[in-house]
């Protein structure tokens, strides 16, 4: 890991370990997730001016009206997805800056990630290549359509809030798989949809706050 990735001061490995201890204290128990987040240099996924705040438990802006979710949200959503132990293929809707993508790459054999904002995806692609993460496949497309040609998926994670899950996405979950996503309008909740042989079961969890999921693509 080069100097930029390893960090110094408020971006150092010591600061990262304090983040991990805080996540444990907040109830995150999946050691695979905690180990992954302990090795990934979160500070390189934000603007340089905000790097010293990268390990605080807050969402931070990443341009284009998007944010990087707080460490707790990333850990919580990853932990909920990782309950499905055999994660061969995972679909992420909303690549954003790529931090959640990098965490998923540590718990799944293959991660397919869709981003609708072209310039954001271009920057993220370079960043993930720098980290030499080989099991991520990125696509510039409308995430609400999913990625049927690569599915079905053991897990789907959505990183922006929606009012409902399109049938197109539900059909891309394997039987025994699950989807983790925020749902709502003024009040948002983290939700889990599980697919079984009889259909789908939805569980509503804690309140959260995400930017909205939008349809279509932005090229420039």
Check: CB of residue 74 under 8 Å from CB of residue 96: no
User: Residue 6 catalytic?
Assistant: no
Alpha carbon distance, N-terminus to C-terminus of the chain: 32
Mind giving me the DSSP string for 144-191? Answer: GG--TTT--EEEEEE-SBBSS--HHHHTTEEEEEEEEEEEESSSEEEE
d(CA 4, CA 220): 28
Instruction: Give the active site residue among 6, 12, 52, 69.
Output: 69
The two structure tokens encoding residue 174: 């394997």
Check: CB of residue 90 under 8 Å from CB of residue 103: no
**Where in the sequence numbering do the catalytic residues fall?**
69
């Amino acid at each position: 890991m080069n100097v930029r990735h390893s960090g110094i001061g408020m971006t150092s490995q010591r600061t990262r370990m304090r983040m991990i201890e805080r996540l444990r204290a907040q109830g995150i128990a999946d050691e695979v997730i905690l180990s992954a987040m302990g090795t990934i240099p979160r500070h390189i996924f934000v603007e340089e001016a905000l790097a010293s705040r990268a390990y605080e438990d807050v969402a931070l802006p990443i341009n284009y009206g998007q944010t990087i979710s707080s460490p707790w949200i990333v850990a919580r959503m990853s932990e909920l997805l990782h309950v499905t132990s055999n994660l061969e293929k995972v679909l992420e809707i909303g690549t954003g800056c790529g931090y959640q993508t990098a965490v998923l790459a540590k718990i799944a054999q293959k991660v397919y990630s869709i981003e609708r904002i072209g310039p954001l995806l271009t920057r993220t692609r370079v960043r993930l290549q720098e980290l030499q993460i080989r099991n991520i496949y990125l696509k510039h497309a409308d995430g609400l359509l999913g990625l049927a040609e690569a599915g079905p998926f053991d897990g789907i994670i959505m990183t922006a809030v929606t009012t409902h899950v399109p049938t197109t996405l539900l059909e891309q979950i394997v039987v025994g798989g699950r989807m983790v996503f925020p749902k709502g309008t003024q009040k948002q909740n983290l939700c889990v949809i599980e697919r079984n042989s009889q259909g789908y079961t939805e569980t509503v969890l804690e309140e959260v706050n995400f930017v909205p999921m939008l349809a279509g693509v932005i090229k420039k």
